[in-house]
Structure 1
């Protein structure tokens, strides 16, 4: 059970970069950007703490940079920072599914805006904000929000099981 979360994130990272591209062909009007691993990291951050989210986010963001980006550090910083921010209020949020979903949607939205802002700031992209918002930001928030709804309750069960196992281990010592 110890390696379950890293394995899940790795599998979802692979799915978002391979199977998703096959199942959802690109269109000219919308760019559907799956951030499924990031959504899972935000949920992990809410349940396991902000520091755990920072670590998972930084590592996964580095993989995102190496595999999909020509600039190293943009996603590593963005994933880590936003996962940390998503986990700051985890105790007050994690038992309220609508708030968990709100944090997920806000984190994905902030991720898209932050990476766009960084790329715009260094002159790496010349896309106008209106085009970015309509073609990429809105579809990405909708897609990843829907994924958050699908994954929220199974992840909650996983965390409850992990917590029970931790309590059992502590009680047996």
Structure 2
């Protein structure tokens, strides 16, 4: 039963992520700035830091699965989010080996991960669909607002999710040693 909790949490946030812009003030939606919620990816970063061991890659597996679900539900090109979330989660998993798991590392990794994922998504969409947006315009109008919005989500989620993930990780380690 506990193995279903992480996918259930990710599924709930995948659904909420699709409706997140409905709760923003209309003035923000009508402006030229784009705030893209990457809530599932922020949770994947937390999984990489506080749940995965050096030899497990649940964040990558969940990144591929829920990236595909995101593509299936919200985009018109299959594979962009699946590829991006999988690769970015793998990179974050590798980077976490260099740093200790704490609040500042979680915030830093979330910012780096969301920036990497969003930039990869922009690059892939601009390659496939031929966007006419320059890198500077993208950075000012989309990347920075997206990073700020997801930073707020990271800070709101920090008191709740990492202690749970750490506890579940310890339980998983104890059950592996018992076998």
Q: CA separation in 2, counterparts of 1:172 and 1:75?
A: 37
Point out where structure 2 has 5 or more consecutive residues left out of the alignment. Answer: none
**CA RMSD, aligned part only?**
2.0
Point out where structure 1 has 5 or more consecutive residues left out of the alignment. Answer: none
Deviations 1:14-35 (A, max 9, x none): 11102x1221141322111111
Q: CA separation in 2, counterparts of 1:68 and 1:166?
A: 33
Q: Return the offset for 1:148.
A: 1.1
Q: Could you state the TM-score of these two structures normalised by the residue count of structure 1?
A: 0.89
Query: Is the CA contact (8 Å cut-off) linking 2:64 and 2:86 kept in structure 1?
Result: yes
* Matched residue SS, 1:122: helix
Q: Return the offset for 1:9.
A: 0.6
Aligned partner of 1:15 in structure 2 is 16
Show the 5 A alignment for 1:62-81. Answer: 62-81=68-87
Q: Could you state the TM-score of these two structures normalised by the residue count of structure 2?
A: 0.86
Q: CA separation in 2, counterparts of 1:56 and 1:162?
A: 16
| Paired positions, count | 172
Q: CA separation in 2, counterparts of 1:122 and 1:159?
A: 37
With over 3 angstroms needed to count, the CA separation of the structure-2 counterparts of 1:87 and 1:127, relative to structure 1, is same
Show the 5 A alignment for 1:14-93. Answer: 14-18=15-19, 20-24=20-24, 25=26, 26-47=29-50, 48-49=52-53, 51-93=57-99
Deviations 1:46-82 (A, max 9, x none): 2314621110100111111111211111111000000
Aligned partner of 2:107 in structure 1 is 101
Runs of 4+ in 1 over 6 A off after TM superposition: none
Q: CA separation in 2, counterparts of 1:89 and 1:54?
A: 13
More displaced stretch, 21-30 vs 141-150: 21-30
Query: Is the CA contact (8 Å cut-off) linking 2:37 and 2:146 kept in structure 1?
Result: yes
